[in-house]
A = this chain, B = another copy of it.
Amino acid sequence: MTILEFVNINLKTDFKDDNELPFKLTKKTFKKGDVLTSYGQIERSAYFLISGLIEITVLKDIDEKIIEFFLPGCFFFSYTSFLSQQPSDVQVSALSDCDVEVIDYVELQKAYKTSLVANQIGRLATESIFIISTKREKDFLTKSAQERYDELLSKRPDLIRLVPVNKIAKYLGIHPESLSRLRKNLFS
């Protein structure tokens, strides 16, 4: 999916090409392992993932924690840094080769001033990232590791298929050995 398709589906518009969108887009590709936004960098881009797999991490001392994975069809970026234009406390990296579309910060802010469609897209994108992020927070507070793994398996099976096991464990906040046990419980 592209931003054009995302907009047409979500806003029920019928835009024929990118020139009808209220902001300029550029296309970029990243290689597996590339860092799109590093710790301390100010986020200038809102990315939309066309293909590939993205990881967002945060640092505790030298220990890296995984906050979120993104699969194609959604916006992703160092959100707080983008909004505040302060240095990012998260890192955005490509877990596989990725095709993305990019909206520049200044370009987007300009569009927000006058464009209904730009604000509708911005609102929808923020709403959907927010729902994912608060769900994760509530799950950490209320569910066991087993429950969180089971739910990931049923609700986001693509993640389990595409993301290396050690990263799934990090995302769930458990040791890789514990994850192996959870997987055994499930299939025994």
User: Which A residues are within 8 Å of any B CB, using their own CB?
Assistant: 58-60, 65, 67, 79-80, 83-84, 89-90, 112, 114-116, 119-120, 122-123, 126-127, 129-131, 133-138, 140-143, 173
Which residues of chain B are near A89, meaning CB under 8 Å?
A: 138
Judge whether B133 and A60 touch: CB under 8 Å: no
Contact of A116 (CB < 8 Å), options: B119, B127, B136, B137: B119
Measured in the bound complex, the distance between the Cα atoms of B141 and A173 in whole Å is: 9
Most buried by B among A67, A119, A138, A143: A119
A36 to chain B, nearest CB (A): 18
Is A131 within 8 A of B83, CB to CB?
yes
From B114, B123, B131, B137, A123 is in contact (CB under 8 Å) with: B123
Please indicate the chain B residues that have their CB under 8 angstroms from the CB of A134 in the complex.
67, 79-80, 133
